[in-house]
Amino acid sequence: MSTKTNNKASESASNAMLLLITRLHFYIGLFVGPFIFVAALTGTLYVITPQIENAIYKDVLTTQSVGEAKPLSQQITAAKSHLTSDLTLFAVRPAPEQGDTTRVMFLDPSANLSGSRAIFIDPITLEMKGNLPVYGTSGSLPFRTTISFLHRQLLMSEVGRYYSELAASWLWIAAIGGLFLWYKGGKKNKAEFANKTEHLRKRRRHYQVGLCLFVGLIFVSITGLTWSKWAGDNISALRNSIGWITPSVSQDLTTIDHNMMMSDEHADHLNHSSHHNMQTKKQTAEKFENVDALFDGVLKAARDAGIDANKLEIRPSSTKDKAWRVSEIDRSWPTQVDSVAVDASTMTVTSRADFATFPIVAKLIRWGIDAHMGVLFGVVNQIILTIFGLSLCFMIIWGYRMWWIRRPQAGSTSKPLLQAWARLTGPQKIITVLIAIALGISMPVMGVSLLAFLLIDVYRWKRQ
């Protein structure tokens, strides 16, 4: 008798937990689903933009000139001659290959979204090929930059970032909850699917696509959170506290400190156009006399030190007691992101950070972010993410269709989330509350939205 009672209690607790997860999964789909849909759709658009951008700006990015490239100093001088206002030079990207143009980049508050501008110079003829805003490590041009900010914050400035953080915060929970529901309902679903009703067919498609995308859902959610405002700051603090930082060169010449600093893997999606960032960069942009002439020597010193990637960026020092920085910016496979600091007064390397010596965690973070952006494995990466993004959109549509078919009719009742929680055992209630508090603190946007869910749920429960 005691065994039967225990089995019934265990079964009741299991059913209560199943009901709770079912209701939570439904709430995520109903209220957060649209945000996840938009994030998936705009993310897919961003992934396919490199080829489109290359086609749109072909005349700016390439040249038909043949011959020996002029020194960087002459290319920079040529770029400055085309400026209509006094802008601060902050970086130069030499032409990667024959037929490409050199980018001479300046801080420009008038450049919408990006906050920086590039003059594209033919390295052979010194002809200006274009004058466009550029953004991030990928050097996105206006078209791709717009898509990037559409994905990141819906072109709504900082307030728009809450939409993408909301989507990323709940996506992994929706994925795990869906996997749990599929597992618990396996036998029942097999029997029901034999009936071949419209609702069950759509539910099966929803399950099948979700299972195929499960790993990708977790991956995209976690890597997406690292870009977010609130959860991203907490993730950065956690990484710092446990030493999971990405090494970077030290540019301090006063102590010649060879210890590595922390670098930012999210340069492609940081808002460089903010007023604070622009003012800080301007205040520290104290130039050397005839700084243009130093670029060729700094580049040669970096090449001699083993910086051999075709895609490079040279950043002059902000003050005389700082070293210049030369960085590889090729994030495809194999990843080339080595960097060195060069003392421009002696043309000697004072610090370096080689990707080969990075801790494994730093490498995984670098690869994870690049895979999220679709640049790690080139076209293959783009194809996988495009299929993933479109499949996720269709899965959400199928989920809404399922709800519409089975939506409560007028006068009928449904099972609120809190009613399911009330059926849990005492230990289960404590565990779920502690998990909710921990997640709410570490991911504040999730915490606030969960409170909103509960308020809606209380209202529905009282109505019933």
Q: Percent of the chain having pLDDT more than 70? A: 84
Instruction: Give pLDDT tens digits for 86-135.
Output: 999 999 999 999 999 999 999 999 988 889 999 999 999 999 999 999 99
CB 271 within 8 A of CB 158: yes
Contact 121, 102 (CB under 8 A): yes
Predicted confidence (pLDDT) at residue 6 exceeds the cutoff of 70: no
Place of tokens 């994925």: 175
Q: What confidence score (pLDDT) does residue 262 get?
A: 57
Distance CA 243, CA 245 (A): 6
Position 50, amino acid: P
Q: Calculate the CA 422 to chain-centre distance.
A: 38
| pLDDT (0 to 100) of residue 189 | 53
- Per-residue pLDDT, averaged over 204-228, amounts to 92
Q: Which two tokens stand for residue 257?
A: 């400190």
Confidence (pTM): 0.87
47-56, 202-211, 423-432: range with lowest mean pLDDT: 202-211
- 397-417 per-residue burial string, b: 16 or more CB within 10 A, e: under 16: ebbebbeeeeeeeeeeeebbb
**Each residue's pLDDT tens digit, 402-455:** 888 777 665 555 678 888 898 899 999 999 999 999 999 999 999 999 999 999
The total of other beta-carbon atoms located within 10 Å of residue 344's CB is 21
Say yes or no to pLDDT of 308 above 50.
yes
Q: How remote is the C-alpha of 270 from its chain's centroid?
A: 9
* Average pLDDT rounded to a whole number, residues 242-248: 89
Phi and psi at residue 325, in whole multiples of 5°?
-120, 130
Q: Is it the case that residue 162 has pLDDT exceeding 50?
A: yes
E strand map for 8-156: 88-93, 102-107, 116-121, 128-133
**Contact by Cβ (8 Å): 405, 199:** yes
**Whole-angstrom distance, CA of residue 217 vs CA of residue 212:** 10
Tell me, what amino acid is at 340?
Answer: V
Percent of the chain with pLDDT over 90: 68
Domain boundary assignment for the chain: 58-140
Mean pLDDT on 44-66: 96
Query: For the chain, what is the largest distance between any 2 Cα atoms, rounded to a whole number of angstroms?
Result: 93
Q: What is the pLDDT of residues 358-401, one digit of tens each?
A: 999 999 999 999 999 999 999 999 999 999 999 999 999 988 98
Alpha helices in 323-425 (DSSP H): 360-373, 379-405, 417-422
Question: Could you tell me if 256 and 350 are in contact, meaning their C-beta atoms sit under 8 angstroms apart?
Answer: yes
Could you tell me the CA-to-CA distances from 234 to 162, 228, 268 in Å, in that order? 15, 10, 20
Q: In sequence order, what are the beta bridge partners of 240?
A: none
- CA nearest 118: which of 81, 137, 93, 149? 93
Per-residue model confidence (pLDDT) at position 76: 97
pLDDT of residue 281: 43
Amino acid identity at 91? A
> Helix (H) and strand (E) counts for the chain?
17, 10
| Torsion sign, CA atoms 112, 233, 433, 222 | positive
